[in-house]
Amino acid sequence: MIRFPDPDVYNLAVMQSRIVITFNWSDFRNLVGIKEDVGVIGVGGLNWHRIDTKLTALLIKHKSSYFARRLRTLGEEEKELVQ
């Protein structure tokens, strides 16, 4: 598996106006919001089916402004993590 440094992933997502979806969301805590990003969604502690179900529901429910410049996680309850 090819791995890229988190700042490179973040910068590419910013350039392409994409949301970052990651298991290691804590590594993005210091990156999110430093540029005009689309946001970061942290997933973890859930099986693949639950991740797919919760993520799909979240993306359908909210507009892009809900995610912009924020770190949100999927878990027992969806949370916004502020710096």
15 assigned to some structural domain: yes
Q: What is the pLDDT of residues 14-55, one digit of tens each?
A: 999 999 999 988 899 999 999 999 899 999 888 899 999 999
Q: What is the pLDDT of residues 55-66, one digit of tens each?
A: 999 999 999 899
Full domain range(s) for residue 42: 6-81
Tally the domains of the chain.
1
Contact 81, 71 (CB under 8 A): yes
1 assigned to some structural domain: no
pTM: 0.84
Paired tokens of 24: 């290691």
Paired tokens of 55: 């993520």
